């Protein structure tokens, strides 16, 4: 388990669902294409983190992507995507700015929720993407 104290988080951290194939694929994309260098921010599945130290709950992490800033501020869902893009290569910043635009942000929230709710049906999705963690554990075990 990766332990990151909340008060002095050394790097921002993008927290995703490591049991979801789509989430894991997108996390690898962020690591390779969005993030400038490993020292910019950490990308990690919630299953490997000390969530309490980050000020997160398992429920929050199941519900949506999470971004925890150095100061402990948490952004979720489409706002976590925007924070990730803003912190990455400079050419991703216009996309972050668009996501934060009033009206667009609400639309992005609806799109994010639809994708999250249907990720098990999307290309690359797996049945585990739609299962609660207790059922995932039973299926793996």
Where are the chain's structural domains?
Answer: 13-140
**How far apart (Å, rounded) are the C-alpha atoms in residues 87 and 69?**
10
Residue 128 carries which DSSP code?
G
> SS3 for 72?
coil
**pLDDT value at residue 139:** 46
User: Other C-beta atoms within 10 Å of 94: how many?
Assistant: 11
Higher-pLDDT residue of 58, 127: 58
Higher-pLDDT residue of 125, 94: 94
Share of residues in the chain with pLDDT > 70 (%): 80
What is the overall mean pLDDT for the chain?
87
**How far apart (Å, rounded) are the C-alpha atoms in residues 31 and 26?**
9
> SS3 for 95?
helix
Residue 34 carries which DSSP code?
I
**pLDDT value at residue 6:** 45
Name the one residue in this structure whose structure tokens are 């997108």. Answer: 26
Higher-pLDDT residue of 135, 43: 43
pLDDT in tens, 66-124: 999 999 999 999 999 999 999 999 999 999 999 999 999 999 999 999 998 888 777 66
Note the residue count of the chain: 141
**How far apart (Å, rounded) are the C-alpha atoms in residues 125 and 112?**
15
The pTM is what?
0.83
């Amino acid at each position: 388990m990766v332990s990151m104290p909340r008060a002095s988080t050394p790097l921002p951290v993008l927290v995703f669902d490591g049991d979801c194939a789509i989430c894991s694929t997108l996390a690898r994309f962020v690591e390779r294409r969005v993030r400038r260098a490993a020292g910019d921010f950490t990308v990690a599945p919630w299953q490997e983190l000390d969530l309490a130290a980050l000020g997160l709950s398992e429920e929050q992490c199941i519900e949506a992507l999470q971004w925890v800033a150095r100061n402990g501020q948490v952004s979720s869902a489409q706002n976590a995507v925007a924070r990730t893009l803003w912190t990455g290569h400079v050419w991703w910043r216009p996309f972050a700015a668009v996501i934060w635009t009033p009206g667009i942000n609400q639309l992005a929230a609806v799109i994010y929720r639809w994708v999250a709710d249907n990720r098990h049906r999307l290309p690359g999705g797996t049945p585990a993407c739609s299962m609660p963690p207790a059922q995932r554990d039973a299926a793996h075990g």
